[in-house]
Chains A and B, each alone.
Chain A
Amino acid sequence: KNQVEQSPQSLIILEGKNCTLQCNYTVSPFSNLRWYKQDTGRGPVSLTIMTFSENTKSNGRYTATLDADTKQSSLHITASQLSDSASYICVVSAKGNNRLAFGKGNQVVVIP
Chain B
Amino acid sequence: EPEVTQTPSHQVTQMGQEVILRCVPISNHLYFYWYRQILGQKVEFLVSFYNNEISEKSEIFDDQFSVERPDGSNFTLKIRSTKLEDSAMYFCASSGQGLKNTGELFFGEGSRLTVL
Do A and B form a real pair? yes
Chain A interface (Cβ < 8 Å from any Cβ of B)? 2, 31-32, 34, 41-46, 49, 51, 89, 91, 93, 95-100, 102-105
Residues of B within 8 A of A2 (CB): 42
Given the interface pairs A97-B56, A98-B56, A99-B58, the reply to whether A43 lies near B102 with Cβ below 8 Å is: no
Contact of B102 among A41, A44, A51, A105 (CB under 8 A): A51
Interface residues on B, range: 20 to 34
Contact of B45 among A32, A46, A96, A100 (CB under 8 A): A100
Residues of A within 8 A of B93 (CB): 43
The answer to whether the Cβ of B86 comes within 8 Å of any Cβ in the partner chain is no
Chain B interface (Cβ < 8 Å from any Cβ of A)? 4, 31, 33, 41-45, 48, 55-56, 58, 89, 91, 93, 98-100, 102, 104-110, 112
Residues of B within 8 A of A99 (CB): 45, 48, 56, 58, 99
> Is the CB–CB distance between B42 and A43 below 8 Å?
no
Q: List 17 A-B contacts (CB under 8 A).
A: A31-B102, A32-B102, A41-B89, A43-B107, A43-B110, A46-B104, A49-B104, A89-B43, A93-B99, A97-B56, A98-B31, A98-B55, A98-B56, A99-B48, A99-B58, A102-B42, A105-B42
